[in-house]
Structure 1
Amino acid sequence: MSRISVRGFAVASATAVTTVGAVVGVAAGGEQGSSDPVEATAADASLLAEIPTGQQAQVQTASLTQQADIQSTAADAEARKAAEESARKQAAEDAKAKKEAADKEAAEKLAEERAKKKEAEQAASRSATRDADSFTPQASYTVAEVQAMARQMVPGDQFQCFSNIVNHESTWNYRATNPSSGAYGLVQALPGSKMASAGADWQTNPATQIKWGLNYMNERYGSPCGAWSFWQANNWY
C-alpha cells in the first residue's frame, strides 16, 4: 500500500471517528466534551479535503449510517417506553375492572343469602303458627287469651301490624259491634257474616275471627303489615 493510500485511510478513519463523536456530543447536549461543534465540523471538512473523492463518499456514508443507528436506537427506546406505559395503564384498568366485578359478585351473593335467610325465617314462622281449629272452644275469652291465640296464629314478623289494626278496630274485643255500620268482631268485618267462611262459630270464637282477618289482610294487602300501611294512610282497611 502506498504512503498516500495509508495516509488517506488513516485520515478517513479519523474523520469517521470525529464525525461520530461530534454527532454523539450534540445528541447528549454537549455533556461528553467541551469542544465547539463548529470547530469540529471545520476540522472534519479540512480532513475530508485531503481524502480522495471515492474515500470521501465512503466516510460520509459511514457517518450517515452512524447517525441513522443513533436515531434508530433512540426511536426504539421511546417506543419501548411508550409500550411499557401502555401496558402499565392496561394492567391498572384490568385490575380495577376485576375488583369491581368481584365486589359486584360479592354484593349479589350477600343479597341472595339475605333473601334466602329471610324466606327461611318466614317459612319457619308460618310453619310454627297454629290453625283456628287447634284451639278448644271456650264460653268466653279474656283480652290476654285472645292476644295469646293471635300470637300463635299470626306469623311473628306480622303480629305487631295485625295487633295495631285490632287495637284500633276493636281494642281486642271479639264481640265488638259498630252500631252504625254493623261491623263485627276483632277485625270489624262488614258485614260480620263474612267471617262464616272461616267457621260457623265466627260470632263467639276469636280464633275463627283471627283466621278470617289474617286471610283478608293477606289476600287484599299482601300481609297484615301491608294492611296496616293502608290503614295509617286512610284510617280504614
Structure 2
Amino acid sequence: MVAPELDHLLRGVGVGAEASLQMQAASAVGALRCDKLHLDRKSLVTVWVRVTEAPESGDNAEVATILEKAMKYKDEGNDLYREKCPERALGRYKKASRALRRAQNRKASGATHADASLTATEASVYLNIAACRLNLEEPDLKGVVAACERVLAIDDKSVKARFRRGTALGRMGRTREALDDFVAAAKLDPSNKEAIREANRLKQLAEKESKEQSK
C-alpha cells in the first residue's frame, strides 16, 4: 500500500481520492516503487502516470530517480539563495541542470510525460541560475543572457526570463535589446510595475542615445 506520508502528500497537492486509490492499487502490484517524491504538483502526478503506465520500462524509472535528485539540488539551491549565498546556490543549480541533462539522455522514446516534467524543471532551474549570476559579487551578465535564452527556448512567455535578460542587457549597454525585453514582459504581465518602470526608463535612454548619435 502507499505509505501514509505519500498519501498525505498526494492529497496536499490536489490529487483526488479516486487517483489516490488507483495509486494504492498500483503499489499493491508493484507498479509504483516510489514512496517519497520530492517534486512539485505537476511533476509528482507526471511521474506517477509514467511509472504506472509503463512499469516495465527501466529507463522511465531511472528518469524518475534522476528527476527527484535534480529537484533535491534545486531545493538546496533555493535555500542557499534565500540565505544570500548566490555563488553556493549557483553550484547546486548547476548540479540540478547536469542531472536533468542525464535524465534527458536516458528517457524512453515517446515518454511525453517525462518530457513535460523535465522541460518544466529545466526552465525553473535556468531561471534560478540567471538570478544567481545577476547577484554574484561580479555579475556574469553574459551567463544571465545565456540562461534566460535557455528558458525562453522552452517558454517564450516567461516574464521572469524576459525581465532578467533585460536587466543583464541593460547593464551591458545593449539598451534597445533590453527595452524590447521589458516591453515584452510588461505586455505579458501588465501588473508588473517594475517591468513598466524599466521599459519607460529604457525608452527615454534609447531616445537620448539616438539623439546623441545623430549629432
Q: Aligning the two structures, in what range does the TM-score lie when normalised by the shorter sequence? A: under 0.3
TM-score by length of 2: 0.20
